[in-house]
């Protein structure tokens, strides 16, 4: 079998600019024409051959069962207006519709990504509506009800059962499917919303998944990734919807491919696509999934990939550490780390989010913080949502009583101590304050930050800055630069404050 080969093209990821791989978001209304099963549909399914370029892509996302059941409620309200019998959520059709919603992430069409019609998903399915872009059941039902064909489909008098799928992909887009059947229903109970990975079979002779590859934190050229020794990061795979004019992008789980390294002494790779750069040299990482093959050409170097890093300075080892571990990387489309640049609040929570939820750190989400200055779909939005929900950051109270996030404001040393202390659940009552009190300017620490700063000094997280006369200053209200943040993060790992 001849595989379709994909040469990886890399873009350096960043926490200071927009993400390297970005796709246009769906329009507010996206509908495909409704479909009802015919004899022709059944005949065409038998003609599809899947041997040539066939692969399975694992698509992560969230199954929104609560919204799926909301759809059924609204459908039955609309049917009642016409005296039509209510539809029952059928257990088999519900799970089939959820699978179809995940398939619509890859190909927004009534033809499945494997080339067969939608009705091959279940023998009970005799009609289908699909939609994308809206985030609630009410908005999606409004789309369908405002479309003559979709409205007619869901109001048909011969339907008695329904299955609804609502699947939010990791790019933030939600895909909706209604499957209708005339037979008796096996009533489904409502499961809790849950994160899930759906295996989607793809016949690449039918669609092109538009696969792209990146390695967050890697320096790059058009043909190879340049990694410093000690670098660790996960291969990131994304595709583009094959049948959507708005070209919505989506995340593909890296374990969709079987990964191997041509030289495991130079670069190793595990089943989840996690890379470790072990020694200077060159190696090819190859991923195979059915008819698709990815070749990633890697050079491991002993030199820093950042032009503004002086290897003789105090921060050099710390910068190598955070970059190698994918915690704090250089700027997108640049070879600069950002020496001397201040660390912002958005950047810090993104770093901590990468540590807490490495599989979700690059997700694009809408603002759920309740703070108006957090942008929808920005590179830091998912991290801001996580930080507020986890109680890691509480925002800044304004004169009018409102609370803002301040994503672009610089982080001070005392603010950083508070945020990390909250993140790790520090035991502030057990702190030895002697080291903190020995620093001559410790008294300038804000009263609300004293306990956390004493903890940070006691644990070695913050050691103060060296003065020209040999003394050290705490500078609690001084802005933290990116290289200082790198040193603090390395100290946190060395002291086992962070895992």
CA gap 251, 428 in Å, rounded:
40
Predicted confidence at residue 105, as pLDDT, reads 95
Those residues of the chain that have pLDDT short of 70 are: 1-29, 37, 39-52, 217-224, 245-247, 359-364
* Cα gap 110→94, rounded to integer Å: 17
Dihedral sign of CA atoms 179, 183, 186, 190 in order: positive
pLDDT (0 to 100) of residue 46:
52
Q: Measured between alpha carbons, how far is 415 from 404 in angstroms, rounded to an integer?
A: 15
Helix ranges (DSSP H) in 237-395: 316-324, 345-356, 381-389
Cα-Cα-Cα-Cα torsion 116, 117, 121, 123, nearest 10 degrees, comes to -120
CA distances for 344 relative to 279, 307, 326, 474, angstroms: 33, 21, 17, 19
Q: Which SS3 state, helix, strand or coil, does residue 34 take? A: coil
Sign of CA dihedral 200, 201, 207, 212: positive
Query: Per-residue pLDDT tens for 450-475?
Result: 999 999 999 988 887 777 777 788 99
Provide the pLDDT for residue 14.
24
* Per-residue confidence (pLDDT) for residue 246, from 0 to 100: 67
The pLDDT score that the predictor gives to residue 12 is 29
Nearest partner of 310 among 320, 300, 301, 322, judged by Cα: 320
Residue-wise pLDDT for 377-388, tens only, equals 888 999 999 999
- pTM for the full predicted model: 0.62
Q: What pLDDT score was predicted for residue 40?
A: 59
d(CA 217, CA 9): 14
- What was the pLDDT predicted at 498? 82
Q: What pLDDT does residue 44 have?
A: 53
- SS3 state of residue 179: strand
Residue 95: what are its φ and ψ, rounded to 5°? Answer: -70, -35
Q: Which pair of tokens denotes residue 188?
A: 């489904």
pLDDT for 360 equals: 63
Q: Find tokens 């309200």 and name the residue.
A: 77
Reduced 3-state DSSP string for 343-375: CEHHHHHHHHHHHHCCCCCCCCCCCCCCCCCCC
């Amino acid at each position: 079998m001849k595989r379709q080969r994909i040469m990886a093209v890399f873009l350096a990821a960043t926490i200071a600019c927009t993400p390297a791989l970005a796709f246009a978001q769906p329009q507010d209304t996206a509908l495909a024409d409704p479909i009802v099963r015919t004899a022709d549909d059944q005949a065409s399914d038998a003609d599809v051959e899947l041997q040539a370029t066939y692969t399975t892509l694992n698509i992560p996302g969230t199954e929104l069962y609560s919204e799926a059941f909301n759809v059924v409620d609204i459908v039955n309200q609309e049917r009642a207006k016409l005296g039509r019998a209510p539809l029952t959520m059928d257990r088999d059709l519900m799970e089939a519709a959820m699978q179809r919603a995940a398939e619509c992430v890859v190909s927004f069409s009534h033809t499945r990504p494997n080339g067969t019609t939608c009705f091959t998903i279940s023998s009970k399915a005799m009609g289908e509506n699909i939609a994308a872009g809206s985030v609630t059941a009410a908005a999606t039902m409004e789309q369908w009800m405002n479309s003559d064909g979709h409205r007619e489909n869901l109001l048909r008098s011969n339907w008695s059962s329904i299955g609804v799928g609502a699947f939010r992909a990791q790019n933030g887009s939600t895909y909706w499917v209604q499957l209708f059947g005339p037979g008796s229903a096996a009533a489904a109970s409502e499961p809790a919303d849950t994160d899930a990975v759906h295996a989607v079979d793809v016949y690449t002779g039918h669609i092109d998944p538009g696969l792209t590859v990146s390695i967050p934190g890697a320096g790059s050229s058009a043909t190879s990734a340049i990694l410093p020794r000690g670098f660790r990061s996960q291969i990131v795979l994304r595709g583009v919807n094959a049948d959507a004019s708005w070209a919505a992008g989506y995340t593909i789980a890296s374990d969709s491919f079987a990964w191997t390294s041509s030289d495991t002494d130079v670069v190793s790779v595990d089943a989840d696509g996690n890379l470790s750069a072990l020694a200077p040299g060159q190696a090819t990482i190859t991923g195979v999934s059915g008819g698709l093959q990815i070749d990633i050409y890697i050079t491991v170097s002993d030199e820093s990939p950042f032009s503004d890093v002086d290897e003789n300075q105090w921060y050099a080892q710390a910068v190598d550490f955070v970059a190698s571990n994918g915690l704090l990387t250089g700027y997108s489309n640049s070879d600069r780390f950002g020496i001397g640049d201040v660390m912002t609040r958005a950047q810090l929570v993104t770093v901590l989010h990468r540590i807490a939820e490495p599989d979700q750190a690059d997700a694009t989400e809408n603002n759920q913080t309740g703070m108006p200055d957090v942008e929808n779909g920005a590179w830091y939005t998912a991290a801001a949502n996580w930080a507020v929900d986890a109680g890691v950051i509480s925002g800044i109270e304004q004169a009018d009583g409102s609370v803002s996030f301040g994503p672009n404001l610089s982080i001070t040393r005392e603010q950083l101590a508070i945020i990390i202390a909250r993140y790790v659940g520090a035991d502030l009552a057990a702190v030895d304050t002697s080291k903190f009190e020995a620093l001559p300017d410790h008294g300038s620490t804000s009263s609300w930050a004293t306990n956390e700063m004493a903890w940070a000094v006691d644990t070695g997280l913050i050691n103060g800055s060296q003065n020209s006369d040999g003394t050290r200053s705490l500078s609690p209200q001084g802005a933290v630069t990116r290289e200082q943040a790198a040193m603090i993060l390395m100290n946190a790992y060395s002291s086992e404050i962070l895992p």
